[in-house]
C-alpha cells in the first residue's frame, strides 16, 4: 500500500463524505453513554443489525443503566435474550454489568480497561473507546476487513495472526484521530451497505477508480480466509412429555452455549433416527423406565438450526403419560403453560413451542 499522507487523507475524506450523504439512523448511533454503546456492541456481535435493533430497545427499556442490569436475575436476562443465540454473550453481559456496578457503576475512558472486561475483545473495546469517549482506536470487524482487503488488494488471510496484525496496523494508519467516532462509523456503514459481501455496489463507490480489487476484477476473492469451517451435524430427539396439563423440562447446567436455558429431555443420535431406532437406545430405555405412556405422537416438522461450527437437526416426540417416576423430579421441572412463558429456551425449542418454522426441512 502507498501509505503516504496524501493517500491517507484522501481515503479518510472520501469515506467521511460518503457517510455524510448516506447516514444510517440507528438507536445507538450518536449517543455517548458508554453503557448503551457497550450494550449495543455486545448485542450486535454475530447478529444482523435489523435483529439487534429490536433487542437493543428491549434491553434498554428493561435495564436503562448498568446497575439495573447488574441487579437483574440471570433467568430474566436470558429470557430477554431468547432467540438471539450465542447465549454466552448474555451471561458475559450480566457478569460484566455486576462487575462494573460493584466497581462504582461507571465505565472508564481507558482502552486497556475496556479490553479487560469479560466478553469484550479488541473490536468492541475500540468501538466503546471511540464512540463514547472519542479515543483514537480503530475498529476492525468483518466490514472493515472486507473494505480494506478489496481497496488495497490485501491477500493475507484475515483469520491468520499475520493478517490480523496487518489489518489492524493499516486501520490505525487510516483512522482519523481527530474524529475517530465519525470515521469508525463511516467505515462500518460503508462495508455494511455498499461494499457488501455479495454484489457490492461498485458503480456508486467513491473508491471505484482506486480500488485494486475492482481494477483487477477480483472483488469476489476478498477478504481471503485461511481456514474453512467444517460443520458437525448433530441430531437432537426431544421428548415433550406431558402430564395433567404440565410439561417436563430441564435446566441445562453443563458448560455449553445453552447453559442456564431450559429444554426437553434430549436423546442425541449420530444420525437421523426414527422412533423404532430411538426406542432401542440406552438413553430411551433408561429414561422412559417408570413412565406409563398413554399416547405418543411424532411432530410432523423437522427443524434445522445453523450455528458457527454445528448444524443442529431436531425432531420432537410428544408423549402423553399417566404415570411418572418420582426420581425424575430431582433432574427435571414440571411447568404449566403459564410457567413456560417465563423460562428461557434455545431458539429451536422456542420456535417449536410457538409452532413456528425455524428452518423447516420436512
| Alpha helix stretches (DSSP H) within the chain | 5-21, 34-44, 49-62, 66-70, 74-81, 88-102, 111-115, 122-133, 142-151, 161-174, 180-193, 212-215, 275-279, 282-288, 337-340, 347-353
| Residue-level length of the chain | 362
Cα-Cα-Cα-Cα torsion 128, 62, 348, 235, nearest 10 degrees, comes to: 50
Whole-angstrom CA distances from 314 to 51, 193, 243, 247, 305 are: 23, 34, 22, 18, 8
* Contacts with 331 (C-beta within 8 Å, 6 or more apart), sequence order: 250
Whole-angstrom CA distances from 96 to 38, 67, 85, 115, 277 are: 10, 11, 18, 12, 45
Q: Which of 93, 99, 114, 108 is nearest to 42 (CA)?
A: 93
Q: Catalytic residue at 41?
A: yes
Residue with cell 481494477: 215
Active-site option among 41, 54, 251, 283: 41
Known catalytic residues are 41
Amino acid at each position: 500500500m502507498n501509505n503516504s499522507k496524501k493517500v491517507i487523507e484522501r481515503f479518510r475524506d472520501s469515506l467521511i463524505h460518503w457517510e455524510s450523504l448516506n447516514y444510517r439512523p440507528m438507536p445507538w448511533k450518536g449517543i455517548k453513554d458508554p453503557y448503551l454503546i457497550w450494550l449495543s456492541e455486545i448485542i450486535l456481535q454475530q447478529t444482523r443489525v435489523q435483529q439487534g435493533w429490536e433487542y437493543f430497545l428491549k434491553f434498554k427499556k428493561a435495564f436503562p443503566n448498568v446497575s439495573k442490569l447488574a441487579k437483574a436475575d440471570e433467568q430474566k436476562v436470558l429470557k430477554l435474550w431468547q432467540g438471539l443465540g450465542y447465549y454466552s454473550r448474555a451471561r458475559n453481559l450480566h457478569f460484566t454489568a455486576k462487575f462494573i456496578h460493584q466497581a462504582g457503576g461507571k465505565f472508564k475512558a481507558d482502552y486497556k480497561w475496556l479490553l479487560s472486561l469479560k466478553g469484550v475483545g479488541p473490536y468492541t473495546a475500540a468501538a466503546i473507546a471511540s464512540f463514547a469517549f472519542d479515543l483514537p482506536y480503530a475498529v476492525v470487524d468483518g466490514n472493515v476487513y472486507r473494505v480494506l482487503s478489496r481497496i488495497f488488494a490485501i491477500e493475507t488471510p484475515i483469520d491468520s495472526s499475520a493478517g490480523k496484525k496487518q489489518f489492524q496496523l493499516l486501520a490505525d494508519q487510516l483512522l482519523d484521530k481527530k474524529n475517530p467516532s465519525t470515521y469508525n462509523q463511516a467505515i462500518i456503514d460503508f462495508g455494511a451497505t455498499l461494499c457488501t459481501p455479495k454484489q457490492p455496489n461498485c458503480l456508486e463507490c467513491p473508491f471505484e477508480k482506486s480500488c485494486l480489487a475492482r481494477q483487477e476484477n477480483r472483488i469476489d476473492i476478498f477478504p481471503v480466509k485461511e481456514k474453512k469451517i467444517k460443520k458437525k451435524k448433530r441430531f437432537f430427539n426431544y421428548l415433550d412429555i406431558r402430564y395433567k396439563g404440565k410439561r417436563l423440562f430441564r435446566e441445562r447446567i453443563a458448560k455449553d452455549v445453552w447453559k442456564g436455558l431450559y429444554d426437553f429431555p434430549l436423546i442425541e443420535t449420530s444420525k437421523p433416527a426414527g422412533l423404532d431406532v430411538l426406542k432401542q437406545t440406552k438413553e430411551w430405555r433408561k429414561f422412559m423406565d417408570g413412565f406409563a405412556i398413554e399416547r405418543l405422537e411424532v411432530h410432523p416438522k423437522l427443524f434445522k438450526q445453523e450455528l458457527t461450527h454445528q448444524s443442529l437437526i431436531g425432531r420432537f416426540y410428544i408423549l402423553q403419560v399417566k404415570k411418572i417416576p418420582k426420581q425424575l423430579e430431582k433432574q427435571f421441572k414440571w411447568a404449566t403453560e403459564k410457567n413456560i412463558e417465563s423460562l428461557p429456551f434455545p431458539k429451536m425449542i422456542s420456535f417449536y413451542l410457538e409452532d413456528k418454522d425455524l428452518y423447516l426441512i420436512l
